[in-house]
Amino acid sequence: MRIVHISDIHVAERHFIRELMERVIERVNSLKPEILVLTGDLTDSGYLYEFEDAKAFIERFECERRVVVPGNHDARNVGYLYFEDIFGARSSVLNHKGVTVVAVDSTQPDLDEGHIGRDKYDWIRKSLQNAGDDLKIFALHHHLLPVPYTGRERNILTDAGDVLKLLNDCNVNLVLCGHKHVSWVWVLNNMIVLNAGTACTNRLKYRILPSFNLIEVKDTDDPNKKRIQVRRIYSKDGSEIYVLDKIIEKS
């Protein structure tokens, strides 16, 4: 099972590099992923023309199973309503061949800080419980854990501690997020927390290049264990590096 994780395309922003986006689309299509996860900041300011541009690019990914959540930039100027019109619900669940992706909106209107909120915890718990013994993936825009090269820490969810416990209690295996354009991976308990950088902008922190993530889920001899391999693919030249190769227990 191949899953591509892309974040922070920021279409229409002055930092958006169309040529890089074209390369990303071409590379992703050559990978033939079964699931595509986009963890927010599709736009700069949440305006309609930006969402329409983003949609036109995203539709060119040859992957019928797309999971999309909004980022803080998409929630600006009431952009979350356009998000719903164009991409559907801001939180969603996808099940496919033993993998469940629970994707949750972590934005607040016109604020950069992320927040899941207690009112969503029951829905998240039920959605993950319904996944049974599937591999469980949780997707959101904001950081669940701090990552380096982001300066003064103001990026993790305001309720990160409670969300971490909730996801751990529900045996989540993989968390996908974006936001500060730094690609990074942490492993906490049995949970991989994977940040994607920006795929196609020059809003880059110290020597970090635009990239996206390729996740491969492989069977092992033990039906309760999966092998997760993560590669970071650089948008400009398509080169790649392994960032993780780990066997995890599904529950």
Nearer to Fe ion, 106 or 127 (CB): 106
Burial group, residue 72, by CB count within 10 angstroms (0-12, 13-18, 19+): buried
Of 39, 43, 72, 235, the residue at the interface with Fe ion (CB under 5 A) is 72
- Interface with Fe ion, residue 105, by CB under 5 A: no
Phi, psi of 235 (to 5 degrees): -65, -35
- Interface with Fe ion, residue 71, by CB under 5 A: yes
- Interface with Fe ion, residue 41, by CB under 5 A: yes
Residue 215 near residue 230, CB atoms below 8 Å: yes
Q: Which stretch binds Fe ion (CB under 5 A): 171-179, 212-220, 228-236, 243-251?
A: 171-179
Of 8, 13, 44, 53, the residue at the interface with Fe ion (CB under 5 A) is 8
Which residues are CB-contacts of 32 (< 8 A; sequence separation ≥ 6)?
2, 62, 63
Smallest distance from Fe ion to CB 203, Å: 7
Residue 28 near residue 219, CB atoms below 8 Å: no
Smallest distance from Fe ion to CB 85, Å: 21
Smallest distance from Fe ion to CB 201, Å: 8
β partners of residue 217: 228
Nearer to Fe ion, 8 or 50 (CB): 8
- Interface with Fe ion, residue 76, by CB under 5 A: no
Query: In this structure, what DSSP letter does residue 106 have?
Result: -
Helices (H), 35-173: 48-58, 79-87, 118-129, 160-169
Smallest distance from Fe ion to CB 133, Å: 33
- Interface with Fe ion, residue 13, by CB under 5 A: no
Interface contacts to Fe ion, rule CB under 5 A: 8, 41, 71-72, 179
